[in-house]
Structure 1
Amino acid sequence: MEQRSSLDPVPAWVPASGHALRHAGIHFDAVRAIGLLGEQIAYEIMQFTDFQAGPIVRSGIGARSIFFLLPPQTVAAYRWPPGTEALARDRRGAAFVGVPALYGATWPLDWRSRPTAEVPFVDPALLHELTLGVLAQSK
């Protein structure tokens, strides 16, 4: 699988075609939310950021997870609520996240929101705040 050059405005960890597993905690940290909760959080952060949320990956199989990709070494600064899972490099082991190419056949993964040169990651503080808000509304 071809890697993008470092001069490309898209992060180098985005594959040129298909999809690839990337090590959380190296290229990015991630927060996973499953099913409707993940979709609702993604909707809220996209609305709040005028559709410039940063990278959000959706899996179309299994539990239909949504992965919010954060800057490396940032996920541990927050206490993520039940229904979400923080993925980073830690003593418990390695975590990998599937990342689709920007275009072409990438099933079962796709972008809910793409990374850009201006917004290469989801803002961790905003994601945490909106996640807590979505959970409070669902009670």
Structure 2
Amino acid sequence: MNTQNERLCVDWVPETGFQLRKAGVRFDAVRVDGAEGRRLADMMDSITAGDPGPIATESNRCRAVYFYLPAGSTAHRVWAPGVTRFNSGDGTVSYVPVPALSGETWPLFWYCPPSNSERFVHPAILRNAAAALFGHPMSFAEEES
């Protein structure tokens, strides 16, 4: 691991470049594409006073924004339209790109880098922010299904 990764003890972040990591092992993730993803990242940054947890952005194709959440936190939950979940629930296998903390990582960059191995985006805050931003109110009945 490079010095920055070692100092932060973020073992799921690659040393250089970027790598695909299996979702549901160390983390789950959600992706929101385009300007909506950027707005959601900005909203999370504002809501959490600058500490939303790890969020990465993609500079090509659909300009995706990836939010890294605790493992097991995205399955069996209702998410707003436009949110794509990555997890290992229900017989699925998903892979998520993860950039290194420094060096050449194009087309991925950290919007907010991880601060340690156990710090992730808070699922309830992200779900509520996405619901508010995309005009999709969440209800207790949806959560139970």
Greater shift, 126-135 or 91-100, is seen at 91-100
Q: 4+ residue runs of structure 1 moved beyond 4 angstroms? A: none
- 2:29 is aligned with 1:35: no
Q: For 1:42 and 1:29, how far apart are their aligned partners in 2?
A: 17
Aligned to 2:50: 51
Aligned to 1:81: 80
Deviation, 1:81, is 1.4
Does structure 1 retain, via aligned residues, the 8 Å contact 2:57–2:108? yes
Q: Percent identity?
A: 33
Q: For 1:19 and 1:95, how far apart are their aligned partners in 2?
A: 16
Aligned to 1:105: 104
Q: For 1:118 and 1:3, how far apart are their aligned partners in 2?
A: 15
CA offsets 1:74-108 (integer angstroms, 9 cap, x no match): 11252011111111003453111110011111001
CA offsets 1:13-59 (integer angstroms, 9 cap, x no match): 01111111100111210011010111110000001111111110111
Structure 2: unaligned runs, 5 residues or longer: 137-145
**TM-score, normalised by the number of residues in structure 2:** 0.84
Q: For 1:37 and 1:114, how far apart are their aligned partners in 2?
A: 20
Q: For 1:83 and 1:136, how far apart are their aligned partners in 2?
A: 11
Q: For 1:53 and 1:90, how far apart are their aligned partners in 2?
A: 24
Does structure 2 retain, via aligned residues, the 8 Å contact 1:3–1:13? no
**TM-score, normalised by the number of residues in structure 1:** 0.88
Aligned to 2:89: 90
Q: For 2:112 and 2:76, how far apart are their aligned partners in 1?
A: 23
Q: For 1:19 and 1:118, how far apart are their aligned partners in 2?
A: 17
